[in-house]
Amino acid sequence: MAQQEADQVVEPGERRFGEFVAVRRHGYVAELVLDRPKAMNAVSTDMARSIAGACDALAADRDARVVVLTSTHERAFCVGADLKERNSFTDAELVRQRPLARSAYTGVLELPMPTVAAVHGFALGGGFELALSCDLIYASEATQFGLPEINAGTLADAATIKLPKRMPYHVAMELLLTGRWMAASEAARWGVVNEVLPDEESVRARAWETARLLAAGPPLVFAAIKETARVAESLGFQEAMDLVTTSTLPTVAKLYSSEDGLEGFKAFAEKRKPVWKGR
Protein backbone atom coordinates (compact mmCIF):
# COMPACT_ATOMS: atom_id res chain seq x y z
CA MET A 1 0.00 0.00 0.00
CA ALA A 2 1.35 3.43 -0.91
CA GLN A 3 2.12 5.75 1.98
CA GLN A 4 -0.48 8.25 0.79
CA GLU A 5 -3.16 5.54 0.87
CA ALA A 6 -2.08 4.33 4.30
CA ASP A 7 -2.35 7.79 5.87
CA GLN A 8 -5.96 7.83 6.95
CA VAL A 9 -8.26 8.86 9.75
CA VAL A 10 -9.34 5.65 11.50
CA GLU A 11 -11.47 7.17 14.25
CA PRO A 12 -12.02 10.64 15.72
CA GLY A 13 -8.80 11.76 17.34
CA GLU A 14 -6.58 9.12 15.67
CA ARG A 15 -4.69 9.12 12.37
CA ARG A 16 -2.67 6.19 11.11
CA PHE A 17 0.63 6.60 9.31
CA GLY A 18 1.23 3.32 7.58
CA GLU A 19 0.63 0.13 9.53
CA PHE A 20 2.83 0.73 12.57
CA VAL A 21 2.49 4.38 13.64
CA ALA A 22 -0.46 6.38 14.92
CA VAL A 23 -1.08 9.91 16.12
CA ARG A 24 -3.81 10.29 18.71
CA ARG A 25 -5.06 13.73 19.58
CA HIS A 26 -5.96 14.80 23.10
CA GLY A 27 -6.74 18.48 22.68
CA TYR A 28 -3.45 20.33 22.29
CA VAL A 29 -1.49 17.19 23.20
CA ALA A 30 -0.61 14.77 20.39
CA GLU A 31 0.40 11.19 21.22
CA LEU A 32 2.86 9.68 18.74
CA VAL A 33 2.35 5.94 19.11
CA LEU A 34 4.82 3.21 18.13
CA ASP A 35 2.48 0.36 17.24
CA ARG A 36 4.32 -2.68 15.94
CA PRO A 37 3.80 -5.01 18.92
CA LYS A 38 4.55 -8.29 17.14
CA ALA A 39 8.12 -7.07 16.55
CA MET A 40 8.49 -5.17 19.87
CA ASN A 41 8.45 -1.99 17.78
CA ALA A 42 11.58 -2.87 15.83
CA VAL A 43 11.94 -0.06 13.30
CA SER A 44 11.65 -1.34 9.74
CA THR A 45 12.11 0.86 6.68
CA ASP A 46 8.35 1.31 6.39
CA MET A 47 8.04 2.16 10.08
CA ALA A 48 10.89 4.70 9.88
CA ARG A 49 9.18 6.32 6.91
CA SER A 50 5.91 6.44 8.86
CA ILE A 51 7.53 8.02 11.94
CA ALA A 52 9.08 10.69 9.73
CA GLY A 53 5.74 11.27 7.98
CA ALA A 54 3.90 11.58 11.29
CA CYS A 55 6.50 14.09 12.50
CA ASP A 56 6.13 16.16 9.33
CA ALA A 57 2.37 16.28 9.89
CA LEU A 58 2.77 17.21 13.57
CA ALA A 59 5.29 19.94 12.79
CA ALA A 60 2.74 21.55 10.45
CA ASP A 61 -0.17 21.19 12.89
CA ARG A 62 -0.69 24.48 14.75
CA ASP A 63 -3.06 22.80 17.21
CA ALA A 64 -0.44 20.29 18.36
CA ARG A 65 1.46 22.01 21.17
CA VAL A 66 3.07 19.00 22.89
CA VAL A 67 3.96 15.51 21.65
CA VAL A 68 4.11 12.44 23.90
CA LEU A 69 5.98 9.46 22.41
CA THR A 70 4.53 6.13 23.58
CA SER A 71 4.47 2.42 22.77
CA THR A 72 1.65 -0.11 22.61
CA HIS A 73 3.91 -2.99 23.70
CA GLU A 74 3.76 -3.89 27.39
CA ARG A 75 7.42 -4.96 27.58
CA ALA A 76 9.16 -2.79 25.01
CA PHE A 77 9.31 0.87 24.10
CA CYS A 78 11.35 0.01 21.00
CA VAL A 79 14.10 -2.57 20.49
CA GLY A 80 15.82 -0.65 17.69
CA ALA A 81 16.28 -1.43 14.03
CA ASP A 82 14.61 -4.40 12.38
CA LEU A 83 17.69 -6.62 12.15
CA LYS A 84 15.87 -9.33 10.20
CA GLU A 85 15.13 -6.79 7.50
CA ARG A 86 18.67 -5.38 7.70
CA ASN A 87 20.14 -8.86 7.25
CA SER A 88 18.30 -9.23 3.95
CA PHE A 89 19.73 -6.04 2.45
CA THR A 90 22.49 -5.86 -0.08
CA ASP A 91 25.19 -3.26 0.56
CA ALA A 92 23.53 -0.91 -1.91
CA GLU A 93 20.12 -1.35 -0.28
CA LEU A 94 21.59 -0.62 3.15
CA VAL A 95 23.17 2.61 1.88
CA ARG A 96 19.79 3.69 0.49
CA GLN A 97 17.98 2.71 3.70
CA ARG A 98 20.16 4.58 6.18
CA PRO A 99 18.83 8.08 5.33
CA LEU A 100 15.28 6.77 5.78
CA ALA A 101 16.15 5.37 9.20
CA ARG A 102 17.80 8.65 10.12
CA SER A 103 14.69 10.58 9.11
CA ALA A 104 12.72 8.91 11.91
CA TYR A 105 15.08 10.14 14.63
CA THR A 106 15.63 13.60 13.18
CA GLY A 107 11.89 13.91 12.66
CA VAL A 108 11.33 13.56 16.40
CA LEU A 109 14.39 15.65 17.28
CA GLU A 110 13.36 18.58 15.08
CA LEU A 111 9.71 18.81 16.15
CA PRO A 112 9.09 22.46 17.06
CA MET A 113 6.98 21.65 20.12
CA PRO A 114 8.10 20.05 23.42
CA THR A 115 8.38 16.27 23.23
CA VAL A 116 8.03 13.82 26.11
CA ALA A 117 9.09 10.16 25.93
CA ALA A 118 7.09 7.75 28.11
CA VAL A 119 9.44 4.77 28.23
CA HIS A 120 8.71 1.32 29.61
CA GLY A 121 10.57 -1.94 29.05
CA PHE A 122 13.33 -2.27 26.47
CA ALA A 123 14.67 0.92 24.87
CA LEU A 124 17.52 -0.48 22.82
CA GLY A 125 19.47 0.85 19.86
CA GLY A 126 17.13 2.99 17.82
CA GLY A 127 14.61 2.89 20.66
CA PHE A 128 17.14 4.58 22.92
CA GLU A 129 17.89 7.03 20.11
CA LEU A 130 14.21 7.92 19.76
CA ALA A 131 14.00 8.60 23.49
CA LEU A 132 17.18 10.72 23.34
CA SER A 133 15.57 12.72 20.53
CA CYS A 134 12.86 13.87 22.95
CA ASP A 135 13.19 16.84 25.28
CA LEU A 136 12.05 14.98 28.40
CA ILE A 137 12.26 11.29 29.27
CA TYR A 138 10.23 9.51 31.93
CA ALA A 139 10.99 5.82 32.46
CA SER A 140 9.65 2.96 34.56
CA GLU A 141 11.84 1.03 36.99
CA ALA A 142 11.71 -1.94 34.61
CA THR A 143 13.19 0.03 31.70
CA GLN A 144 16.47 -1.14 30.22
CA PHE A 145 18.44 1.21 27.97
CA GLY A 146 21.17 -0.06 25.69
CA LEU A 147 23.12 0.45 22.47
CA PRO A 148 23.91 -3.08 21.26
CA GLU A 149 24.87 -1.95 17.74
CA ILE A 150 28.54 -2.57 18.52
CA ASN A 151 27.78 -6.30 18.80
CA ALA A 152 26.44 -6.26 15.25
CA GLY A 153 29.48 -4.38 13.98
CA THR A 154 27.60 -1.16 13.30
CA LEU A 155 27.18 2.36 14.68
CA ALA A 156 24.50 3.87 16.90
CA ASP A 157 24.26 6.98 14.74
CA ALA A 158 22.34 9.60 16.72
CA ALA A 159 23.24 8.17 20.12
CA THR A 160 26.95 8.43 19.33
CA ILE A 161 26.44 12.18 19.04
CA LYS A 162 23.78 12.80 21.66
CA LEU A 163 24.62 10.46 24.53
CA PRO A 164 28.00 12.04 25.45
CA LYS A 165 26.11 15.34 25.78
CA ARG A 166 23.55 13.86 28.17
CA MET A 167 25.92 12.08 30.55
CA PRO A 168 29.65 11.99 31.45
CA TYR A 169 31.75 11.26 28.39
CA HIS A 170 33.53 8.25 29.87
CA VAL A 171 30.26 6.57 30.86
CA ALA A 172 28.69 7.24 27.48
CA MET A 173 31.73 5.76 25.77
CA GLU A 174 31.51 2.64 27.91
CA LEU A 175 27.93 2.09 26.76
CA LEU A 176 28.78 2.79 23.12
CA LEU A 177 31.94 0.67 23.05
CA THR A 178 30.74 -2.34 25.06
CA GLY A 179 27.04 -2.43 24.20
CA ARG A 180 26.12 -3.08 27.83
CA TRP A 181 22.63 -2.25 29.02
CA MET A 182 21.78 0.39 31.61
CA ALA A 183 18.93 0.18 34.10
CA ALA A 184 16.58 3.14 34.49
CA SER A 185 17.99 3.86 37.94
CA GLU A 186 21.49 4.28 36.48
CA ALA A 187 20.14 6.41 33.64
CA ALA A 188 18.55 8.69 36.24
CA ARG A 189 21.75 8.84 38.25
CA TRP A 190 23.65 10.11 35.21
CA GLY A 191 20.90 12.55 34.26
CA VAL A 192 19.84 10.76 31.07
CA VAL A 193 16.20 10.54 32.18
CA ASN A 194 14.18 13.13 34.05
CA GLU A 195 12.47 10.76 36.44
CA VAL A 196 12.00 7.05 37.15
CA LEU A 197 8.50 5.91 38.08
CA PRO A 198 7.37 2.57 39.57
CA ASP A 199 5.56 1.15 36.53
CA GLU A 200 4.18 1.84 33.07
CA GLU A 201 0.95 3.35 34.39
CA SER A 202 2.89 5.81 36.55
CA VAL A 203 5.12 6.76 33.62
CA ARG A 204 2.13 7.53 31.42
CA ALA A 205 0.45 9.53 34.18
CA ARG A 206 3.59 11.60 34.74
CA ALA A 207 4.08 12.16 31.01
CA TRP A 208 0.49 13.35 30.59
CA GLU A 209 0.74 15.59 33.64
CA THR A 210 3.78 17.29 32.14
CA ALA A 211 2.25 17.42 28.66
CA ARG A 212 -0.90 19.14 29.89
CA LEU A 213 1.20 21.65 31.82
CA LEU A 214 3.26 22.43 28.72
CA ALA A 215 0.18 22.58 26.49
CA ALA A 216 -0.93 25.63 28.44
CA GLY A 217 2.35 27.40 27.69
CA PRO A 218 3.47 29.67 24.82
CA PRO A 219 4.06 27.51 21.70
CA LEU A 220 6.09 30.08 19.77
CA VAL A 221 8.46 30.52 22.70
CA PHE A 222 8.85 26.75 22.98
CA ALA A 223 9.73 26.55 19.28
CA ALA A 224 12.29 29.35 19.67
CA ILE A 225 13.84 27.69 22.74
CA LYS A 226 14.17 24.35 20.95
CA GLU A 227 15.72 25.78 17.80
CA THR A 228 18.10 27.98 19.79
CA ALA A 229 19.25 25.10 21.98
CA ARG A 230 19.70 22.80 18.98
CA VAL A 231 21.73 25.31 16.95
CA ALA A 232 23.75 26.49 19.96
CA GLU A 233 25.07 22.96 20.56
CA SER A 234 27.53 23.39 17.71
CA LEU A 235 28.51 27.00 18.44
CA GLY A 236 30.61 28.85 20.96
CA PHE A 237 28.81 30.90 23.60
CA GLN A 238 29.36 34.28 21.96
CA GLU A 239 28.36 33.00 18.51
CA ALA A 240 25.19 31.50 19.97
CA MET A 241 24.34 34.73 21.82
CA ASP A 242 24.88 36.78 18.65
CA LEU A 243 22.57 34.43 16.78
CA VAL A 244 19.81 34.85 19.34
CA THR A 245 20.09 38.58 20.00
CA THR A 246 20.08 39.42 16.29
CA SER A 247 16.94 37.27 15.82
CA THR A 248 18.63 35.41 12.98
CA LEU A 249 16.89 32.14 13.76
CA PRO A 250 13.46 31.89 12.05
CA THR A 251 11.57 30.91 15.19
CA VAL A 252 13.12 33.75 17.21
CA ALA A 253 12.36 36.31 14.49
CA LYS A 254 8.78 35.04 14.26
CA LEU A 255 8.35 35.24 18.04
CA TYR A 256 9.17 38.93 18.30
CA SER A 257 6.80 39.89 15.49
CA SER A 258 3.91 37.73 16.71
CA GLU A 259 0.77 38.27 18.77
CA ASP A 260 2.12 35.89 21.39
CA GLY A 261 5.33 37.91 21.57
CA LEU A 262 3.32 40.83 22.96
CA GLU A 263 0.70 38.89 24.88
CA GLY A 264 2.88 38.05 27.88
CA PHE A 265 3.77 41.68 28.55
CA LYS A 266 0.21 42.81 27.92
CA ALA A 267 -1.21 40.19 30.27
CA PHE A 268 1.26 41.17 33.00
CA ALA A 269 0.29 44.86 32.69
CA GLU A 270 -3.41 43.93 32.81
CA LYS A 271 -2.88 41.53 35.75
CA ARG A 272 -4.36 38.48 34.01
CA LYS A 273 -3.20 35.13 32.71
CA PRO A 274 -1.83 35.23 29.17
CA VAL A 275 -3.82 33.61 26.38
CA TRP A 276 -1.45 31.93 23.96
CA LYS A 277 -2.67 31.54 20.37
CA GLY A 278 0.45 30.26 18.66
CA ARG A 279 0.53 33.16 16.23
Dist CA 264 CA 259 (whole Å): 9
Asked whether 116 and 66 are in contact (CB, 8 A), the reply is yes
Radius of gyration of the chain (CA): 19
Phi-psi region of 275 (alpha: psi -120 to 50; beta: other; left: phi over 0): beta
Rounded CA gap, 211 and 66, in Å? 6
Active-site entry in 19, 93, 129, 195: 129
Please give the backbone phi and psi of residue 2, each rounded to the nearest 5 degrees, phi first: -65, 150
Alpha-carbon distance values, 267 to 3, 65, 199, 263, 276 (Å): 45, 21, 40, 6, 10
Q: Which of 31, 149, 200, 227 is catalytic?
A: 149
Strand partners, 106: none
Helix (H, G, I), strand (E, B) or coil at 120: coil
Exposed/middle/buried for 275, CB within 10 Å: 0-12, 13-18, 19+? exposed
Active site residue 129: yes
SS3 70: strand
Residues with catalytic roles: 129, 149
